[in-house]
Amino acid sequence: MWLLLAGGVAALSWWITGLLVSKASLLRSIDHPNERSLHSKPTPRSGGVAILAGILVGLGVAALGLAVAPPSTRFLPNGFASASVWIVGSIALVATVSFLDDRRGLPVGLRFAVQAIAAGIVVWGAGLTLPSIPIPGITTIELGWFAAPLSLLFLLWMTNLYNFMDGMDGFAGGMTVLGFGFLAYFGWRAEHPFMLLAATLVSMSALGFLVHNFPPARIFMGDVGSIPLGFTSGALMLVGLRDGLFDLWVPMMIFSPFILDATVTVLRRAWQRQKIWQAHRDHYYQRLVLLGWGHRKTVLVEYGLMALCGLLAWGYQMGDDHARLAILGFWGFVMASSMLAVHLAERMAARLESHG
């Protein structure tokens, strides 16, 4: 039953995405190239609708299964909906505004205000906060009354960085398949039905969309996809922290190809007194494409990095304090080396161009 649900959600998302590619689609909206874009021709950007539809149908089927199935045959136990009402309601709010923004364009202030309200619902309504920051084998930093406001900022950052990183064919879709796939594994391992269900549905629905989004992409997910997915990733991280599935470093490692690229890029632009809200092509993945790697090669390398980070997160979860500290050090080395490699490649390309 579980595999049937997961496969059905992927197939449904694939089918709906195919419909949205058509010029006859009533929900079709177009992404026109600009100074930030890596694509050169207008492309539909409504693929997020298919992802959300797959997730919604999957949740409905799961809820119906729990309602009508005998206890002995239920593939999820009762109680799986802990915090789900708050989270799903907040995601629906964010998704609605993002859909309207894709279709008509909304003021930045309004979009951000809605995101802040949705994050506040999750933090104070569902009681999901980041309580502490562990340093394995050394100490744990308790956040105290800072926990709630920091959790709110964390949710807002995860929401928007996902949107920042949705700028290359197959990138955000692949991060969603792998990142939420690892979260689903940790939910299964801990026998946490809500995490297992929610993360699996997101991962499988994104997989159906990715078939159409893999380079060369026929459709993008748009804000209606990237904004709710970023919000969902942050919310599920907080669920896992609250319920003891993992500590902070596990989801941070899983999603680090997104988190670190976006964070370092924004901080660098702020340090250089650039307007961080303006469109740009300064993210590391964008710079690789501009170096001549192209979408397909770049995204495949990023997939490998995502998988490695997920495996490191698994090793961290399985290890003792000494192993965890070593894994954190190795993870930091891998990510720093990856960023340094991009800088060196750019310098080499510039030298070759100056001598050519």
- Give per-residue pLDDT as tens, 295-346: 999 999 999 999 999 999 999 999 999 999 999 999 999 999 999 999 999 9
Cβ atoms 222, 102 nearer than 8 A: yes
pLDDT: which is higher, 71 or 99: 99
pLDDT at 232 over 80: yes
User: By percentage, how much of the chain surpasses pLDDT 90?
Assistant: 71
Which tokens sit at 52?
A: 């959300």
Mean pLDDT across the stretch 44-72? 83
Each residue's pLDDT tens digit, 97-106: 999 998 888 9
* Residue 348 exposed, middle or buried by CB count within 10 Å (0-12, 13-18, 19+): exposed
Measured over the CA atoms of residue 32, residue 304, residue 331 and residue 234, the dihedral's sign is positive
Residue (of 272, 175, 181) closest to 225 by Cα position: 175
pLDDT (tens digit, 9 = 90+) per residue, 165-220? 888 999 999 999 999 999 999 999 998 988 999 999 999 999 999 999 999 999 99
Segment 246-266 shows an average pLDDT of: 96
Residue-level pLDDT at 25: 73
Cis peptide before 216 (omega within 30 of 0): yes
pLDDT of the residue at 64:
81
Categorize the per-residue pLDDT at 23 as very low, low, confident or very high, splitting at 50, 70 and 90: confident
Predicted local distance difference test score (pLDDT) of residue 274: 84
Question: Residue 121 in 3-state DSSP?
Answer: helix
| Dist. CA 217–CA 213, nearest whole Å | 4
* Bridge partner residues of 139 (DSSP): 135
Task: State the DSSP H helix or E strand holding residue 219, giving kind and residue range, or none if neither.
Answer: none
Is the pLDDT reported for residue 38 higher than 80?
no
Confidence at residue 164, expressed as pLDDT on a 0 to 100 scale: 87
What local confidence, expressed as pLDDT, does residue 36 receive? 65
The HSE-up count of residue 269 (CA atoms within 13 Å, CB side) is: 17
Can you tell me the mean pLDDT for 51-77?
74
Q: What is the pLDDT of residue 70?
A: 56
Residue extents of the structural domains in the chain = 2-355
pLDDT above 70 covers a percentage of the chain that reads 91
**203: number of Cβ within 10 Å:** 23
Mean residue pLDDT across the chain: 89
Q: What distance in Å separates the CA atoms of residue 277 and residue 136, rounded to the nearest whole number?
A: 36
Judge whether 252 and 130 are in contact, CB under 8 Å.
no
Radius of gyration over every alpha carbon of the chain, rounded to an integer in angstroms: 20
pLDDT at 139 over 50: yes
How distant, in Å, are the alpha carbons of 65, 69, 83, 183 from that of 75? 8, 9, 19, 18
Q: How far is CA 280 from the centre of its chain?
A: 20
| Separation CA 90–CA 118 (nearest Å) | 5
Residue in 196, 163, 202, 166 with CA at minimum distance from that of residue 13: 202
Tracing tokens 């989270």 back to the chain, one arrives at 87
Q: Write b or e for each residue in 236-269: b if 16 or more Cβ atoms lie within 10 A of its Cβ, otherwise e.
A: bbbbbbbbebbbbbbbbbbbbbbbbbbebbbeeb
Tokens of 300: 């495949």
How much is the average pLDDT of 262-270? 93
